[in-house]
Every structure is written in C-alpha cells, then in structure tokens.
Structure 1
Amino acid sequence: MEEIVALGAVALSDRIAARALTCREVMAAYLAHIDAVNPRVNAIVSRQPADVLLDAADACDQELARGIYRGWLHGIPQAIKDLSPTAGIPTTFGSPLCVGQIPAADGLMVARMKAAGAIVVGKTNTPEFGLGSQTYNPVFGATRNAYDHGLTSGGSSGGAAVALAMRMLPVADGSDMMGSLRNPAAFNNVFGFRPSFGRVPQAPSPDVFGQQLGTEGPMGRSVADLARLLSTQAGPDTRAPLSIADDPARLATDLGGDTRGLRIGWIGDWQGYLPMEDGVLNVCKQALNRLETIGCVVEPMTPDIDPGRLWRCWNTLRHWAVAGKLAPLHADSNTRGRLKPEACWEIEHGLALSALDIHAANVERSVWYQVLRQCFERFDVLAIPSAQVFAFDVDTHWPAEIAGRPMDTYHRWMEVVIGASLAGVPAINVPAGFDARGRAMGLQLIGPHQADIAVLRLAAAYEQAATEVLTREPAWRA
C-alpha cells in the first residue's frame, strides 16, 4: 500500500498504463490509506462507498483489457474540492444550508478530469462557501495541518492540500480567489498554482462575463504532476467566452528551459506595508537563494502604487462577488441566521454598494494591471511570500494581529495574495522551507498574464534546487 500511495501522479499513471498496476490495486491501496489516515486530519469528506469505487476501478481495468485508455488519469482516485459540482456526490460548500445537495451534472473541470479517467472517491473539505483561508465549517469540522495536526491547514483548498501531503491523493484540484491554492500549499509544503484569468474556464456559469476573481486550478507534490493536471483542467470552452484558446497539452510537455539570467523582483513585505510574522521573510529568502543557485538574478523592488488602493479595490469587488452569490440566503430570515458571520459581513457590504462604486473598483483594478505590466518590462517574475503568518492553531478562526498590528477583517492576514488575483496573472506557490518550530512556508512566483508556462518552467527548475525542503515529509504513513 505504501509503495502505491507514495508514487507521484505521473509515475502512478505510467504504471497503470503499462499494466504494472491494476486500477483495483490502486483503488484498494488508496481507500485503505484514506481510512487509516484521514481521521487524523479530516481532509476528505463525503467518501463514497468502497464497493462502488472498487467496481469503478474494475470497470477501468476491463477497459484497459479491451484496449480502451481514457487518459492519464485512467483509474486514478481523485477527491474534488467541495465547491465544485460533482454529479451524484454531495456538494455542500461546507454549509448546513446545502447538506444533501447532490448536483445532477459535473462542473466543467470535474467533467474533464473524469473524461481523462479519474474516479471520484469523495470531496475535499473547505470553509463555508470558501470564505476564509482557514478550513473549518459546521458540517464537517476543521481540517488539520499535515505537519502538525494542532495547526490549521490553510484554505480554502485546505482539504486538498492536506490530502495531497498525506498521500491520500496523488494530485489534487482546488480553487483560488484569495490565495486558496497558494496559502494551503504553503502551509503543507506542496505546489499550488493559480492559473491566468481564463486558463481554466468554469461552466456552466450564470455569469459568463463575470469579474472572475476566482479560478479553479491544480496542486501537486511535484511541478510535473501539477502541470499534467492543469493540462486536463485547461482549454477553451464555448460556454466560457473569456477562456484562453491555447493548446493545453503544452502546459505539461514544455517544462524545460534555461533559467540563467531570469530577473526576479522581490517585493517582500512591500516596504513594511504588509505585517509579517517573525521568520516568514527569512524562510522566503532561503527560497530566493535557491533561485540564485539556478542562475536567476534577484533584486528588491516595489510596485509603483499605494497598496492600500489595492486593498480597498479588493474589498469592494469581493463584497460584490459574494453578495451576488449569497444575497438570496441573507434575504431569507429562515436562512440568514445559519450563515457564518463573515458571509453576512461580505453580503451586507455588497448590498450597500452602488453601480458607480463597482465601476470605480474595476477602474482601480485596471490601473493595477497596467502597473504590474510595467513591472514585467523590467522583471520576468515577481516574488512575494505566500502568507504573512505561519500556520496557527486549528481552533483559531483567523489571526487577530500580526507582529502587533491588528487585523480589521477576517481575511486581512492574507492581503499578500491579492495582487495576482486582482490582475488575473499566473502565480505558483513553491515550498520555501520551515521555521524553527517546523511550520512550512511558501513563496509566490508571479508572471505576466498568460505566461503560465514560463512560471511553471521556473518552478520546475526551482524544484530541482529545493530537494532538502521537498523531501521533508509529514508523518503520512498509517
């Protein structure tokens, strides 16, 4: 069992394709491992019955015997983040208001993963409606950090990151509005990639021309695994008119390249604007040193804009986005009291906005995009920490302060991630290292819009220089 679940996703896929492992053997190993390990961390929820999953694995083996190979995920167990619709499997959004909700159809990303052969074994835990970078909810409880079960997993893709780190999944999907693929990846020492705006389209959607602050994307224990999943998730869809039309296969096959001379702009704490827990910057600087060993040139830089403008713009657009989805639940007196306070706060602020407020925020967002575009005329990639604090107590909903500075909202402690989200540019968390207490931290590498391959290439080169970090595993064995 340990040999099977220890394999990376690409290696596991190769063994199934070569008939060195049967899909049933793989499924049986993963189910046994999930049953043994998941109670420690609560990462996978809505686990489907073992007999149903083993029958699905048998069907995949029968297809292989007939010469049918659906794709690189053929027979590979996957658990989908509990914000993405999965046909026939509960999608609760971590909310008691959605318990028992079973979608009739898959979302586009899930459909693509299934078409490539994935078998969905359940869902991965998330905060209620994905709000907050701490994965807890009243339906399933909290997800615990892979390295220290007394600490938070991060979020909102916390279940995905922990399941991946604890070898309950070979590769994982997630989504990212405010760092939700980057922050939990940082806290659990894995890679998490927020792709460019439009790279991974979402469909069907009631708002096809929406602002798209959030996007789905991949996580992996290696860049190759992550890129292979991204190549499955990505690609245009006629239902999503803003989707990128590039051939997604290149995302997984074009990871080589010379990193010598690449210019990395180190934003750090934005000249003291962003409070950082002691040790965060030092761990990230270790990652910057690794980038220098592979030939990159690292220089401090500060974007030419008041970061407070970005925060105000972000809050306006986030309020608007959350209210647009959840306002009906807030309007109904029977459901309002069952929403988490943070959701009510977002909705109430969103309902108070005028059309001109939203227009002004979108103008500010456009100004930021142009500032960032000018930064990329000087630098190939920008670097900034993936979080402002290390993982904290799992029972703490959010940090009240950082380095003595109070946090005035439930998400201010993750302000460091909003730059890439607002601009819709690709950003990957690469594992940076650990502090003296053994808590993991990550570094964001941010590239220009649609330069996803360039960011992945740099991350792949960094990976080769970071073996001492990546080989530091959590206690994942049963």
Structure 2
Amino acid sequence: MKPSATHITDFSATDLSRAIQQRQVSCHEVMQATLAQVDRFNPGSNAIVSRVDTEALLRQAQERDAQLARGESMGWMHGMPQAIKDLANVQGLRTSLGSPLMKDVVAAEDGLMAQRMKASGAIVIGKTNTPEFGLGSHTFNEVFGPTRNAWDPSKSAGGSSGGAAVALAQRLLPVADGSDFMGSLRNPAGWNHVFGMRPSQGRVPMQPAQDVFMAQLATEGPMARHVADLAMLLSVQAGPHPASPLSLADDPALLAGKLDSDPKGQRVGWLGDLQGHLPIEDGILEVCQTALNSFTGMGCTVDEAQLGMPPEQIWQTWLVWRQALVGPRIAPLWLNPANRAHIKAEALWEHEQYLTLTGAQLMAASASRTRFHHSMLALFEKFDVLAIPVAQVWPFDVNLRWPQSIAGRSMDTYHRWMEVVIYATLAGLPSISVPAGFGANGLPMGLALIGKPQGDWALLKLAHAYEKANPELINRRPPGV
C-alpha cells in the first residue's frame, strides 16, 4: 500500500530516498505532498520564500520519475524537494540576502552547494528565509518579514538558518541546508528541536567566494530531523574543490557509512556557563544537564571542563575576526550614501568597527586564535567531545531585534547574547546541536557537541547514539504538525 500524502512528509529523508528509489512513491507524489504541506504551514511561519511556480516543480518531478523509469538515478536526493538558504545562489532565483538593496538580484548560476545537491537529484522549490546579510541569530528582514518559531509563532526562530530549521520542524522539507558563522546552523536547530551541524573548517567549501584564504569562520552545512539524514546530506555537500585551496581532501562518501557504534567509554567535557562567565537564562543549564544524563546512561563519562584561556580574551579575539570578515561584505553597499538608510543598524556597526581595524590588530587576533586552538587541543587530550548549551536564552519575542540583557547582565553588542557558540567556530571544529529537551515554557533547547579537529564522523556517530537513546524526545512534534 502506498503511503498517504501526509505520511510522505513524515518520512525521514533516508526513508524517503529509499521509497523513491524503489518506486514505492513517485517523485510527483512527493512534490504534491510537500507543496500541500508548505501551503498549509508556511503562511503562518514564513520559513520558505521565493517559492517556485507549482506547475514548473511538478514538471521537474515528472522528469525525475521518467529517469527512474529508464533505470537512471541521479543520487541520494533524486526527486527530493529542497529549499536553499537565501544567502546562497540558485540559478534563476533571487539571492536577496534579506536586504532591500538586493531584493531583485537574480542569481545567474548555482553556488557550489546548490550545484552538488542538484547533481544528487534535489529539486529546488524556493529559498529559506534569513536575517539581513545573515547577521544576528533572529530571522527577520524588510524583504520577507520574520520567520516564526515552529513551536510558538510568537517567538523567534533563531538564525541565520531560521527558515531552514522551521521548514524542517514543520515537515516542509525532508532535509535542509544552512550556513554557520556565529551559530547559524546550531542555534536555530536548538530552538526548533532539530539537528544542525557546523562541519569542520574546509569540509564544505563555499563557492563563489570573494576570499578563499582568510574567510574561514563561515561554513555551509546540513540540518535534519535525524542524524542519519544529517550525515547523508553532508556527504552530498562535502568534498574538495579546486577553487577552494583549503578544502579538505577526504572522500565525502565516507560520511554515508553506517553510524551505529558503541559510545561506551567516551569522555564528555561539560563546559556549562564557563564558571559563570556566560549569563544564561533560568532553566537552560538544567535542560542541558538532563540531556547529559543520557550520555552517562549510554556508558560515557561526563565531567566538568574548563577552557584553557580566559573567555573574555577569546571574545575580544572573536570581535576582531568577525569585524574583519563581515565589514568587507557591507563595504560595497556602503559606498553609495543613498544605500545607508536601507542597511540595518547592526550591519552598519560591523562596518564601522571594521574601518578602525589595523593590520597589527588582525595579526594579534590571529596569534590569539592560534593560542586558543592549542588550548582546545589540550582539552581534547582529556575529552573526546565537549558539550555546551547551544544558546544562552530561550526563543524570545519575535518582535524584538535582540536580547538587551540576560539574567540581569546587559549585552554590550547586538550579538553578545550568542557568545556561547563562538568556540567551535574560532577553533574550526565540528559541532552538532542535538535536541536537549524543553523548558517549563514549552520551548525547545539544544545541546552543542563539539568534536575533535576533523572529527566529523566520530561526532555524527555519537549524536546518532544519543538519538537512538532518546526516541521519544527526538520524535516530539511541534503543536499542530
């Protein structure tokens, strides 16, 4: 018996791929079911934007069915509906970056990530919403408006991959892509009860790119409702590229292997609030510590861990790197004075800070980042994985721009409330946000697991073991979905 349309959108991506390949369900039926789900939920959540014409999508799905009828499969994503984050290029679709200055810019060609997913058979149905220029972990902009949390539409979806996370939680997509500079794959995953992975530096090369040597803090990567799907999408996205000289040469097919493993004996280092350095809202540490109990139950050891470098020094290092890399993205638009009224204040601030930076400051920050990396390597002599909350606040009012204070402490920048996510980014380490649980407010929270250098596969296996140990938690659905 064929699955119902509702059941199709409940499939894991791995099961959906198998059902399509075995012709238990047609690509046309999958597309119909997906678009019906989008029509039902997207008007309320605003996760998917720049939607492609329905008839054009159904024709593409029929073409995929014709290929299968001839015995031809493009790959794991054959016939799978996908929406690409609106910071990445998809030929023929707008790449607005959430900016009113870019709202009519149509991409002439696919970016590398879209190329790879299309080559695996994905059908792009639109884009997923993002904050303006991807700045700030709160998905709102003047082009499309805000994306609302899948669990409470009055709350923020997080960001900058907020549209992707909500689309996953509401079953609008089987998997989703995103990108991560300051937690943009991890924070929205935690706030919408899905998995989000920041891969190792160089695992997923980003093209086109203005700079391929210094700009290593941002990376594209996968999001999913299940770890097996996360690994499979990463295997599609990953792999070296000649235009990205620092991309990792590992065979991405290795990421498509079996994830089952025995986690017994693995050592988990709990960073918590960094001995009180990080202000964190009530209830978050408790939810994360409950999730840590699962690792103990799996035979892991969990002990407190401390960074080997003062957290404030790490933050100051981060500020220099971020301003050095974000400022040039705003600079071309800033040159025209008429544009400045249409650039959000937080982006203008980043550019202003960038203008004051010196080469000496950047080199000092590079040396400091090197010391931090070495301190993380020392931690991994004691632990196999580190754990830390994925956010310092619960999902906040969708109408706020950003939290002004946490637990009575004022935030001195628009992104200080996201400080918790910078450690994996600065060290170039893989990190996965796993669903940790829910607070008394009914809102979800994630726990970030940070792996060893280039330890993506080991991290995926541990996250998979955690998922298997917590099926009731992982399979919990947003209200009404």
Q: What whole-Å deviation, never above 9, does each CA across 1:228-264 have from its counterpart, x for those lacking one?
A: 0000000011111101011111112141222111000
**Aligned residue runs from structure 1 range 63-102, under 5 A:** 63-102=67-106
State which of 372, 379, 392 in structure 1 corresponds to 2:376.
372
State which of 385, 388, 391 in structure 2 corresponds to 1:384.
388
In the TM superposition, what is the alpha-carbon distance from 1:372 to its structure 2 partner?
0.1
Gaps (5+ residues) in structure 2?
A: none
Q: Distance in 1 between matches of 2:189 and 2:462?
A: 17
Q: Distance in 2 between matches of 1:383 and 1:208?
A: 30
Contact kept? 1:27, 1:77, Cα under 8 Å? yes
State which of 203, 214, 218 in structure 1 corresponds to 2:218.
214
In the TM superposition, what is the alpha-carbon distance from 1:208 to its structure 2 partner?
1.5
Q: What whole-Å deviation, never above 9, does each CA across 1:290-334 have from its counterpart, x for those lacking one?
A: 011111100001111100011111111111111111112112102
Partner of 1:272: 276
Q: What whole-Å deviation, never above 9, does each CA across 1:204-229 have from its counterpart, x for those lacking one?
A: 32212123110000001000001100
Q: Distance in 1 between matches of 2:209 and 2:140?
A: 26
4+ residue segments displaced more than 6 Å: none
* 2:17 partner letter: S
Partner of 1:183: 187
Partner of 2:256: 252
The answer to whether structure 1 residue 283 and structure 2 residue 287 are counterparts is yes
Partner of 1:39: 43
Contact kept? 1:254, 1:453, Cα under 8 Å? no
Give aligned-pair identity as a percent. 56
State which of 30, 50, 56 in structure 1 corresponds to 2:54.
50
Q: What SS does structure 2 have at the residue aligned with 1:75? A: coil
Which deviates more, 191-200 or 253-262? Answer: 253-262
In the TM superposition, what is the alpha-carbon distance from 1:32 to its structure 2 partner?
1.1
Q: Distance in 1 between matches of 2:339 and 2:255?
A: 43
The answer to whether structure 1 residue 116 and structure 2 residue 116 are counterparts is no
Contact kept? 1:167, 1:476, Cα under 8 Å? no
Q: What SS does structure 1 have at the residue aligned with 2:342? A: coil
Q: Distance in 2 between matches of 1:202 and 1:435?
A: 36
State which of 395, 401, 405 in structure 1 corresponds to 2:405.
401
State which of 414, 421, 431 in structure 2 corresponds to 1:417.
421
State which of 134, 137, 143 in structure 1 corresponds to 2:138.
134
Q: Distance in 1 between matches of 2:66 and 2:409?
A: 60
The alignment's TM-score, normalised by the length of structure 1, stands at: 0.99
Partner of 1:319: 323
Q: What whole-Å deviation, never above 9, does each CA across 1:44-82 have from its counterpart, x for those lacking one?
A: 000000000001001111111111100010011000000
**Aligned residue runs from structure 1 range 150-161, under 5 A:** 150-161=154-165
Which deviates more, 443-452 or 250-259? Answer: 250-259
Q: CA RMSD, aligned part only? A: 0.8
The alignment's TM-score, normalised by the length of structure 2, stands at: 0.98
Partner of 2:229: 225
Q: Distance in 2 between matches of 1:76 and 1:257?
A: 28
Q: Distance in 2 between matches of 1:67 and 1:476?
A: 39
**Aligned residue runs from structure 1 range 457-468, under 5 A:** 457-468=461-472
In the TM superposition, what is the alpha-carbon distance from 1:112 to its structure 2 partner?
0.2
Q: Distance in 1 between matches of 2:139 and 2:480?
A: 20
In the TM superposition, what is the alpha-carbon distance from 1:476 to its structure 2 partner?
4.7
Partner of 1:125: 129
Partner of 1:147: 151
Partner of 1:103: 107
Q: Distance in 1 between matches of 2:307 and 2:104?
A: 47
Q: Distance in 1 between matches of 2:249 and 2:101?
A: 37
Q: Distance in 2 between matches of 1:252 and 1:264?
A: 25
Q: What SS does structure 2 have at the residue aligned with 1:395? A: coil
* 2:169 partner letter: A
State which of 20, 23, 27 in structure 2 corresponds to 1:23.
27
Contact kept? 1:44, 1:163, Cα under 8 Å? yes
Q: Distance in 1 between matches of 2:290 and 2:146?
A: 31
Q: Distance in 2 between matches of 1:451 and 1:211?
A: 21
Contact kept? 1:267, 1:384, Cα under 8 Å? yes
